Amino acid sequence: MNHATPPVARRATAEDAAEVLRLRQIMLDSMREGEGAPTDWQAGALPGLRKRLAAPDGDFAAFVTEHPAGDGRLASLAVGAVDYRIGGPGEPLGERGHVFSVATDPEARRLGHARSCMDALLTWFRDRGVLQVGLSASAQAEPLYTALGFTRRPQPEMRLRL
């Protein structure tokens, strides 16, 4: 970390929705390897995101850090949701966490922002009684997730786009 005081994550609110989408766009752009991802989805996503961010007791949470420039932008983001599945061995409550949309503004990278957001999100999962958390990791982010205790496992998941 390049500064003395680690960034402090906080729960995102409805007022943060536009900045959350800006950070998500940064993540999507980084996955496209030089090709900018389309942005026309953001207007349609904004109302639903505001609604979820305004519901602090829901199954969705986003944690953010303030940008070190102090200009009102957010520096980093980690989003998660809890899904219910019928309980089973090792997961009797049937609640499983999923992490997605972890992003850091390029100007704020390597300063501990993503780590702070992930720590806060994992605490949120633990407080809800979630025993398993999954995510899809990019090569750039895998060292962070490994340091947090995530491990790779083969996943026989199939998907259908409806």
For 98-111, write each residue's pLDDT tens digit.
999 999 999 999 99
Residue 130: name the closest of 56, 60, 48 by CA: 60
The model carries a pTM of 0.89
**Cα–Cα distance measured from residue 111 to residue 104, given in angstroms and rounded to the nearest whole number:** 10
Whether 20 is in a domain gets the answer yes
27 part of a folded domain:
yes
100 inside domain: yes
Angle at 144 between CA 138 and CA 148, to 5 degrees: 125
Query: What is the domain extent for residue 138?
Result: 10-147
Q: What is the pLDDT of residue 5?
A: 80
Please check whether residue 72 lies inside any domain of the structure: yes
How much is the pLDDT for 66?
97
Of 65, 42, 52, 45, give the one whose Cα is nearest residue 14: 52
DSSP class of 99: E
Q: In this structure, what CATH number is given to the domain that contains residue 102?
A: 3.40.630.30
How many domains does the structure of the chain reveal? 1
CA distance 84 to 93: 8
Which residues, given as ranges, of the chain have pLDDT below 70? 1-4, 33-37, 156, 158, 160
Which class for 59: exposed (0-12), middle (13-18), buried (19 or more C-beta within 10 A)?
Answer: middle
Closest by CA to 136, choosing from 115, 124, 150, is 150
In a domain, 156, yes or no: no
